[in-house]
């Protein structure tokens, strides 16, 4: 097994261990927060925080640019360039933080006062939460260059440890709420802001001490500044469309249906994020290698990474999505006790949307690796952003809020088709081969395993149904993936990796 493959495998295992802990703690945290704050305050926190997040699309665009240029420089073994990228990106992120504050305290406040449907007796508390959310967002923005540096150097052990520490800080915050006598919603937002400060300084200290490239210096490389600005500028189209689609529709739901339905959407988002983060970890381990292989002109490895990572990402997510989709109602009742209306169907729709996105995300990583994103972002953003006006039309016509997510799923499919065609045009992605080796196995395996699991699940109820569906879905996916989903080279690689793990374990036992 090559050192690059071994590194990816190691980093993936580290990130998976991280995510298991994060998921368990996060799900418990949401349950406690919902019970302590109540559905109304929980909904207020989600919708008010969503208004602030709408203005972070500038930062999200720069995040992609920073990671892409750092990975590209490291792929060329250019340490000096990597340091310049960090310094320039930190300056730009500082400017972005200032812009976000200005937008949030002007346009954001206008949205807060004119559009949000907040109960009058909670208006003051919601306003305090809004300002604290702005501050927390600023700290997250300033942390991006440091996180990008950690990921670019593939130091996933520290990345995992810090993420675990962050989620435990959130748990401590929620536990403290139970003994707080002051307004719990305000205290919750304040303590979350404090945790953001702590995480920022830990990131900064570690990077300054560990990486020479993460020490800020004044850089006058105007060409690099222009490249970063141009790349991030076109990325803004994509990020703005994504933010407008998610948080814009969240505001529409608030206007048409109130904070109770926002709470249901917030719960669905938390569940989906916890599940999807498993595959995000896998993709995080792959992304640096995709950009570095393109930078070093190792195009065979670059193309192989696109095929393998896209396919495996989908199957890894399917392991979690299928049993959760089938048992969504039982799981939410077990978790929350009092399940808000629409929470079940929202969760199911968001899980389906995530299956689409897991195919698209690594294709986007390949597009970003080339640096040629202008045409892609202009057209692709239109597909994603169309969710907002279409959702408005459907809600005005009296349709259920579920249609917001149905429309999103349809538009995601169109955006995926566009990404595949764009890669064909720019890196000569073999579309027929991609359809036969990636898309076709995905459709066949997911359909067959869903049918088998649904039929058998129908014979049982409650805990028995959950356990049986988890076992059946896992076995069916594993068998189908091995027989249909993997080609000969991938099967040989899997056998080699398994053999290496067994030999390593045996050697350790013999030493002991």
Q: φ, ψ for residue 235 (rounded to 5)?
A: -65, -25
pTM: 0.70
What pLDDT shows up at residue 88? 84
pLDDT in tens, the chain (512 residues): 455 555 666 666 666 666 667 666 766 766 667 777 776 777 776 666 665 565 555 555 666 677 778 877 877 777 788 888 888 888 888 888 888 888 888 887 887 788 777 778 778 888 888 888 888 888 888 888 888 888 777 777 777 777 778 777 777 877 777 777 678 778 877 887 888 888 889 888 888 888 877 777 777 777 877 777 777 777 766 777 777 777 788 888 888 888 788 888 888 887 887 777 767 766 777 777 788 888 888 888 888 888 888 888 888 889 889 999 999 989 888 877 778 888 899 999 999 998 988 888 888 888 888 877 778 878 888 888 888 899 999 999 989 999 999 999 999 899 889 889 888 888 888 899 999 989 999 999 999 999 999 999 988 888 898 899 999 999 999 999 888 888 777 777 667 666 655 665 555 555 55
Is residue 117 within 8 A of residue 51, CB to CB? The reply is no
Radius of gyration over every alpha carbon of the chain, rounded to an integer in angstroms: 23
Task: Report the alpha-carbon distance of residue 115 to residue 452 in Å, rounded.
Answer: 46
User: The tokens 């381990």 sit on which residue?
Assistant: 285
Task: Report the alpha-carbon distance of residue 377 to residue 365 in Å, rounded.
Answer: 13
**Distances from the Cα of 199 to the Cα of 53, 159, 167, 214, angstroms:** 18, 11, 11, 16
Helix, strand, coil share (%) of the chain residues, nearest 5: 90, 0, 10
Other CB atoms within 10 Å distance of the CB of residue 171: 15
**Distances from the Cα of 467 to the Cα of 193, 453, 462, 474, angstroms:** 39, 11, 9, 11
Q: Most distant CA pair in the chain: distance in Å? A: 71
416: nearest Cα among 435, 433, 390, 401 = 435
């Amino acid at each position: 097994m090559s050192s690059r493959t071994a590194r990816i495998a190691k980093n993936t295992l580290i990130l998976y261990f991280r995510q298991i802990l994060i998921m368990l703690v996060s799900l418990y945290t949401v349950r406690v927060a919902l019970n302590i704050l109540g559905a109304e305050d929980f909904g207020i926190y989600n919708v008010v925080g969503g208004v602030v997040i709408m203005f972070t699309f500038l930062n999200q665009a720069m995040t992609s640019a920073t990671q892409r240029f750092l990975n590209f420089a490291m792929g060329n073994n250019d340490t000096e360039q990597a340091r310049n990228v960090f310094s320039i990106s930190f300056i730009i992120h500082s400017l972005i933080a200032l812009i976000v504050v200005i937008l949030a305290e002007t346009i954001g406040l206008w949205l807060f006062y004119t559009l949000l449907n907040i109960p009058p007796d909670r208006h003051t508390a919601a306003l305090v939460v809004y300002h604290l959310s702005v501050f927390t967002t600023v700290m997250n923005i300033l942390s991006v260059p440091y996180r990008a540096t950690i990921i670019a150097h593939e130091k996933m052990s520290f990345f995992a440890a810090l993420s675990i520490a962050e989620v435990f800080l959130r748990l401590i915050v929620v536990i403290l709420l139970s003994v707080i006598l002051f307004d719990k919603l305000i205290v919750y937002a304040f303590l979350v802001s404090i945790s953001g400060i702590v995480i920022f300084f830990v990131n900064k200290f570690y990077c300054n001490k560990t990486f020479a490239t993460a020490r800020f210096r004044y850089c006058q490389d105007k060409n690099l500044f222009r490249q970063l600005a141009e790349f991030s500028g076109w990325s803004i189209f994509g990020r703005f469309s994504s933010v407008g689609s998610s948080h814009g529709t969240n505001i529409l739901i608030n206007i048409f249906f109130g904070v109770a339905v926002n709470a249901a959407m917030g719960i669905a988002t938390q569940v989906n994020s916890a599940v999807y983060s498993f595959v995000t970890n896998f993709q995080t381990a792959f992304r640096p290698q995709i950009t570095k292989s393109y930078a070093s002109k190792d195009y065979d490895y670059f193309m192989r990474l696109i095929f393998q990572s896209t396919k495996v990402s989908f199957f890894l997510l399917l392991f979690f999505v299928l049993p959760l989709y089938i048992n969504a109602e039982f799981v939410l009742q077990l978790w929350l006790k009092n399940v808000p209306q629409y929470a079940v169907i929202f969760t199911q729709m968001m899980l389906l949307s995530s299956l689409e996105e897991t195919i698209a995300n690594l294709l986007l990583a390949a597009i970003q690796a080339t640096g040629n994103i202008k045409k892609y972002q202009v057209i692709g953003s239109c597909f994603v952003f169309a969710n907002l006006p279409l959702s408005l039309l459907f809600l005005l016509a009296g349709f259920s809020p579920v249609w917001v997510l149905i429309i999103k799923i349809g538009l995601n499919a169109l955006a995926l088709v566009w990404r595949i065609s764009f890669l064909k045009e720019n890196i000569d992605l073999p579309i027929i081969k991609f359809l036969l080796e990636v898309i076709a196995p995905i459709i066949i395996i997911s359909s067959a395993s869903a049918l088998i699991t649904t039929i058998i699940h129908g014979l049982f109820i409650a805990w028995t149904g959950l356990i049986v569906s988890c076992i059946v879905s896992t076995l069916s996916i594993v068998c189908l993936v091995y027989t249909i989903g993997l080609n000969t080279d991938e099967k040989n690689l899997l056998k080699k990796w398994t053999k290496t793990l067994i030999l390593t374990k045996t050697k350790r036992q013999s030493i002991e």
